[in-house]
Structure 1
Amino acid sequence: MSGKGAPELTTIDGADLRVAVVAAQWHTTVMDGLVSGALRALEEYGVPDHTLVRVPGSFELPVAARVLADRGYDAVVALGVVIRGGTPHFEYVCQGVTQGLTQVGVDTGVPVGFGVLTCDTEEQALERAGLPGSKEDKGHEAVSAAVATAAVLRAVPEPRR
């Protein structure tokens, strides 16, 4: 199972950060867990200024993330779940979402926390959703990565000229 080898992040202070969480609506139980984990992490890191936006599905995450990044958020966290079915749809959605969210971060310079579960089964998604009994909490992890990266970038000094 993944999760092994995760970094121990130093203390994260998000008190001066604005963070947006954009979450898909498919697979309600899994998404409820991911959103709860994300909101808990924002509270733990002292992020007072945060917004939660819901979109229909994971494929809509990149465009929403781009708008939020352009509106001045210091970090954006994308949460979703795609579960493999019997058609190539899974590969197309996963590839589009991953490339789209990567592009948002690179194009805007705004860290994008990747909390999109790409699982073969619903059971795998539930194991990663941060629900009671889950082995992992990917909503929390996505916020941790985005907020830590935003804090690091904010601390990078401007080059001397």
Structure 2
Amino acid sequence: MDRLSPLDQSLLRLLTANARASVSELAKQLGVSRLTVQNHMQQLERHKVIEGYTVKLRSDYAPWQIAAYMLIATDQKRLGPLVRALEKIAEIHSLYSISGEYDLVAELRAENTTALDVAMDKVTAIEGVLRSHSSVLLSKKFER
């Protein structure tokens, strides 16, 4: 799928805002038939534009109560095994390669500061991690 149509883009915006919206509701908001919405959703899923649907939990119901970003400088020769080791740390919610002084940024989520500290220690103990810098998230101002 090379380019998304304006309808696909609008559909994705609606689903991003509310993944539980019914096909009928989406069709009404888009001004098209239910069948059109179903066909576009199936096509987006088939082309892996949509990889899944999720639920957003209110922060006080989430099993994790604390989150942090951790910048990680690495030995580039050990990047593959290092990333595989990071995948095994359950508290790492996402991992991105970045440009600049650090090579990776990990988003960590944990139940409390002790669990977060343990997870960060696991990261720094991995062979190939040269140094890290962490920032704990204090509050969410907004999310899109």
Q: TM > 0.5 between the two? A: no
TM-score interval, normalised by the smaller of the two chains: under 0.3
Higher helix share: 1
- Provide TM-score, normalisation by structure 1: 0.23
TM-score (norm 2): 0.25
